[in-house]
Chain A
């Protein structure tokens, strides 16, 4: 029971991070029908930006309040990563819009390779550690030597994910921007006929996706205390899987998918073997997709034409 509870907490934390990245995949896929393979690397870049900013603030500028430093790091990282997201769309994807379908996909893979190599060359290939921060937590259960703990970091990660999901859901469902975004998703040409600047809406979608990846990047750094240039790939693929599992195009689906992948991974590691955790996660994905091809919260297409 105690092991179960602990793994549940760990799994939800990991799943939250996947979920935040998955929102970026799902929004971009929703609006331009493209898998942004570079999104995982944008997440990795944001982790590095956060690391550099954190060291700048605490070591160089001597900021002593960790909480304040984290807040500044979060805001600046979101802004800088959003800029990356915007630039990538502008340089690598927009010129290819209207080209054949695979062109932007290939371009995205190119951007992904570029980003991980760029960081490798600029920052070195070794893992970059951060000083430990936000230590401590709550002890929920303590029987027979196995203590179930919920750390402050885990609380923060889950709370931030929940708040952002609610915020984004509101943005997409209830605001004029969200409506414009959904309109572009359903019929770009018609949206333009109604006066929507489609290119701008797509740009903003990339900016928002990157900003969310940045939040995930900061939380990832905070949680693991270490980041490397290759950290974009595996979390990126898992988050993409999460988006597909939850039903691509659906925001709550992305987070739900993230949580499921996170839970499968941690439970498999705890009860079976850690080496096969990814096999387990992806097998479940395959099984779910066989029976529910549009994902758990995906929409079945029933429309009159």
Chain B
């Protein structure tokens, strides 16, 4: 059997095992608002240990809002979010981070006037330097580009390098769950490939659980075990990535250069 075939088998087994256990992250009936505008409506979503789960959707569908709502800002107005069995719906952002969830947020948000090294130190805040040397080595192996630039100010790096730094910074906290928000946004195809390769490595080699938000639906579904589709703040479809990749409505809306045109009912065109 080919290596690729074994990989598929391994992934499928892992996905089945994961589904059987209690999810690491469980989002139940979550609604969130910006002022009086609903950004998320009754969202249900699970991420099990060892999985890569992706959330795809158009610009403004509420993907990044969900990422931030998991971190308590904006807070869920109804519903609940549990992480590793603990209800985190009412916790403050930094308290949630201290439970070992890390995020590489939308727009990367590296600290521009700090060096790469200092940004990584910030990532390791939770451990007060205990594993710093070891983890620094690890992320520099994952992203060799960072190693050459440890003393450079993060704000002067290219977009791709900043994205690598944002992911590396998140990894410095040794997270149980890694949230990645649009890691491919605005990057050259070659860099996207590099970053998605690193994400796959993290999952396969270290068993890292990853929740990936992407506009680039094709790449995301290729990478993930399962996927959810968010339209106007509502989950409209979910299932194994392979199924979603073959789904005609997804193909029409996200994969063949088309854009979803939500109608008044909030359904994607063609659904």
- Interface set of A (CB-CB < 8 Å, partner B): 176, 179-180, 182-183, 186-187, 189-198, 299, 303-304
Contact = CB atoms under 8 A, between A and B. Distances in A.
Question: For the complex, would chain A's binding face be called helix, strand, loop or mixed by DSSP majority?
Answer: helix
A46 B114 CA distance: 35
Considering the complex of A and B, which 7 residue pairs feature the smallest CB-CB distances, nearest first? A195-B97, A192-B93, A303-B155, A190-B109, A186-B111, A303-B112, A195-B98
A193 B71 contact: yes
Given A179-B122, A303-B155, A186 B94 contact: no
Contact of B118 (A179, A192, A198): A179
A176 B125 CA distance: 8
A47 B126 CA distance: 39
A194 B113 contact: no
A304 B93 CA distance: 27
Given A195-B125, A196-B125, A183 B94 contact: no
A284 B93 CA distance: 45
Given A186-B112, A186-B113, A194 B105 contact: no
Contacts of B80: none
Contact of A194 (B92, B128, B169): B169
A196 B94 contact: yes
Interface of B: 71, 73, 92-94, 97-98, 102-103, 105, 109, 111-114, 118, 121-123, 125-126, 128-129, 155-159, 162, 169, 173
Contacts of A182: 111, 113-114
Nearest to A198: B94
Nearest to B162: A304
B111 A197 contact: no
B103 to A, nearest CB: 5
Nearest to A188: B93
A183 B93 contact: no
A183 B103 contact: no
Nearest to A299: B113
Contact of B109 (A187, A196, A197, A299): A187
Contact of B73 (A180, A189, A191, A196): A189
Given A176-B128, A299-B113, A194 B156 contact: no
Given A182-B114, A186-B113, A187-B109, A192 B94 contact: yes
Contacts of B128: 176
Contacts of B71: 192-193
B122 A183 contact: yes
Contacts of B118: 179
Contacts of B156: 303-304
Contacts of A195: 94, 97-98, 125-126, 173
B83 to A, nearest CB: 14
Contacts of B113: 182, 186, 299, 303
Contacts of A193: 71, 93, 97, 102-103, 105
Contacts of B158: 304
Nearest to B114: A182
A146 to B, nearest CB: 49
A180 B111 CA distance: 11
A86 B48 CA distance: 43
B114 A197 contact: no
A19 to B, nearest CB: 23
A197 B114 CA distance: 19
8 contacts: A179-B114, A180-B122, A182-B111, A186-B113, A189-B109, A192-B93, A193-B105, A195-B97
A224 B104 CA distance: 54
Contacts of A179: 114, 118, 121-122
Given A179-B122, A196-B125, A304-B158, 6 more contacts: A179-B118, A180-B122, A182-B113, A186-B111, A187-B111, A303-B155
Given A195-B125, A304-B157, A183 B111 contact: yes
A194 B122 contact: yes
Of the listed residues A176, A180, A193, the one surrounded by the most CB atoms of chain B closer than 10 A to its CB is A193
